[in-house]
Amino acid sequence: MAAGDRSKAGEVKAASRSQSEVNRRLKYISLAVLVVQNASLILSIRYVRTLPGDRFFSTSAVVMAEVLKVLTCLLIILLQKRLNVKQTLHFLLDAIVFQYKDTVKLAVPSLIYTLQNNLQYVAISNLPAATFQVTYQLKILTTALFSVMMLRKSLSRVQWVSLLLLFAGVAIVQVQQEGNKESSDGSNQNYMVGLVAVVISCLSSGFAGVYFEKILKGSSASVWVRNVQLGIFGTALGMLGLWWSDGAAIAERGFLFGYTDMVWCVIFNQAFGGLLVAVVVKYADNILKGFATSFSIIISTVMSIYLFAFRVDLLFTAGAGLVIGAVYMYSLPKASDGAASSSSSSSSSSSASSSLPSTDGGADMEAFLPKCSGKEKGS
């Protein structure tokens, strides 16, 4: 009997070690996915927007990404309902139509995310990929400030210091770029337009992310239903923006004008990136997430040197280094001095996307929020 107990105990320990090993591997896979997704989206958008020849309409790309995101979420919900179409339709009808008040609340963040996704194309078309990647980390600052103002969250001393370092690092990079006119390596690029676009994008990302979190509190809807609701509004608002901005040109040339295999890769990355992050971040803690963001900045910079002849000097290195350090510092757990206040904080959902992206607002919804709880908003 004792031998049997020892055998069972050994099996339990072996299973525990095996599960621990699986979780450890998933963490590193999550890290790799986050790094590749963060860096590849910026670089690929920059690449397709600076190629010679006919350019695709960025407004149509935003709409197409929203459509693909909705279709993906609908497929996931259908799989969750074990391919029962009737049950899925009843579920969606109840969640989206009958509970219309809950759905309408998402019109505001959806409008902001649609604007943000279009602004990202404008920004990346006019800024070097590395400069955009560094400057776009200001979304952490705006998200934190909106969280303090709207959700009454508290920040640790380390987080406040990291935000100051973040702002200083971005400012140094902007000074460096202002004195380096080679950063605009095309006659049709306007650095100031790109800078304004990325700053507005950061402000909208911060506000929309916090507003979305506030809506999700007390809600039982799944992240996939929320993304369907966001995608419906995003598609409608994206079509309105498409008609307003490029309606005549698209009527003449077609919705898919200028689409190449690389453009489709960008759209798929933008559509699925935020959803993918929402799935994988549950295997990686916030420190790994901060490390992934920091490492993606390094990759974007290195690849920009080879792909776009981007010039890195001491000033840019110092600014980018401050931003990378600030992102990592902000993701660290709160010290014990913040333990007392953390007990009164509620769990929050984390969203990713925009993404660049989002998150979509997908990739954008993965911005770090002040960690009053251990959970994050999923995209």
- The model carries a pTM of 0.75
The number of distinct structural domains making up the chain is 1
Kindly give the residue spans of alpha helices, DSSP state H, lying in 51-106: 58-80, 85-92, 100-104
Residue 353 lies in a domain: yes
Angle at 48 between CA 44 and CA 52, to 5 degrees: 150
Residue 236 lies in a domain: yes
Residue 8 lies in a domain: no
pLDDT in tens, 55-75: 899 999 999 999 999 999 999
Cross-strand bridge partners of residue 357: 354
Q: Which residues contact 351 (CB under 8 A, 6 or more apart)?
A: 209, 212, 213, 223, 226, 274, 278, 359, 361, 362, 365, 366, 377, 378, 379
Report in angstroms the alpha-carbon separations of 34 from 255, 306, 353, 359: 31, 22, 12, 12
Q: Which domain holds residue 97?
A: 25-332+343-364
Q: Which residue has the tokens 């902007």?
A: 174
Residue 176 lies in a domain: yes
Identify which of 38, 53, 348 has the alpha carbon closest to the alpha carbon of residue 223.
348
How far is Cα 324 from Cα 107, in angstroms, rounded to an integer? 33
pLDDT in tens, 3-31: 666 666 666 666 666 767 776 777 777 77
How far is Cα 349 from Cα 369, in angstroms, rounded to an integer? 10
Mean pLDDT by 10 residues, the chain (379 residues): 60 66 72 81 88 88 93 92 91 89 85 90 89 89 88 87 91 78 56 91 87 72 83 92 92 92 92 69 61 81 85 88 87 57 37 40 39 37
Identify which of 68, 70, 48 has the alpha carbon closest to the alpha carbon of residue 58.
48
Residue 174 lies in a domain: yes
Say which amino acid occupies 39: A
